[in-house]
Amino acid sequence: MPELPEVETTRRGLEPHVAGRRIVKLTVHEPRLRWPVPHDLPAKLAGQRITGTGRRAKYLLITLESGTLLVHLGMSGTLRVLAADTPRMAHDHYDLLLESGRTLRFNDPRRFGSLHYTSEDPQLHPLLARLAPEPFDREFDAEYLWRITRRRRASIKQVLMNSRLVVGVGNIYASEALFAAGIDPRRPAGSVSRARYQRLAGEVKRILAWAIERGGTTLRDFLNPDGAPGYFFRELFVYGREGEPCKVCGSPIRQQVIGQRSTFWCPSCQK
């Protein structure tokens, strides 16, 4: 599933191909995405110039002269920049044809992705307005983590992955950040000290930034916009490494399902 780093990687890959370009037309091949693509959307987009791109959580924002497109990749979506005459494949659901002769093509086998448009401030859109802070926001720091976890018995791993508290920390990154911060993922969130939250907040930001620089994880169904797979997976410290030696201390990495998600940690390095 594309996570925050994959979405940001996609945004950075698209930006030079779309910024300043005019939209010739939107062609919707399959409107039945997670929410139906409005039938009047092509008329609203035709002729508009794209002024830039942005991101809020896992929503990719494509800023136009008179509004903003909100693109979600869902569970399996990809957005690629292709020559307009590239033959369509199965699960190609829409094409945003640009005056450059290229098309922004959305492919999504599971159709959990979505496409919305707003002419208002996108941050006020119902899908974005009530999202929790994300790790790169200034308010995501030790104080914030400390405050939201008082009297919370849920594990720290579950808190990091609770999208009502913080958005964009996926399973891989939660496991890796907890390893880097030396915190046992099973530890009740309310028992983590302020000092350790200080370290954790920094590690979450650092690992997500690093993942973005590396082009995201190499989940098989994710490709960079230029088609190259990421090569991040083998550089992870704990995720997917059950039974293998910890890269720091040599202890076998453990795995356990916490909150229905596979969780990996080193029993020696993380307390």
Considering beta carbons, is residue 94 or 179 the nearer one to Zn ion? 179
Has 58 been annotated as catalytic? yes
Q: Applying CB under 5 A, which part among 42-50, 200-208, 215-223, 263-271 lies near Zn ion? A: 263-271
178 binds Zn ion (CB under 5 A): no
**CB 157, min distance to Zn ion, A:** 17
**Residues 152, 157, 159: CA angle, nearest 5 degrees:** 40
Q: By CB under 5 A, is residue 246 in contact with Zn ion?
A: yes
Q: Could you give the CA distance from residue 214 to residue 106 in angstroms, rounded to a whole number? A: 23
As a whole number of Å, the CA-based R_g of the chain is 20
Cβ atoms of 175 and 185 within 8 Å: the answer is yes
For the CB of residue 267, give the shortest distance to Zn ion in the complex, in Å: 8
242 binds Zn ion (CB under 5 A): no
Residue 250 contacts by C-beta under 8 Å, 6 or more apart in sequence?
none
The active-site residue out of 11, 55, 56, 58 is 58
Regarding 268 and contact with Zn ion (CB under 5 A), the answer is yes
Contact 172, 207 (CB under 8 A): no
266 makes contact with Zn ion (CB under 5 A): yes
The pairing of beta strand 254-258 with beta strand 261-265:
antiparallel
267 binds Zn ion (CB under 5 A): no
d(CA 81, CA 105): 6
Q: Is 249 near Zn ion (CB under 5 A)?
A: yes
261 catalytic? Reply is yes
3 is catalytic: yes
Task: Confirm or reject binding of residue 248 to Zn ion (CB under 5 A).
Answer: yes
Please identify every residue annotated as catalytic.
Answer: 2-3, 58, 261
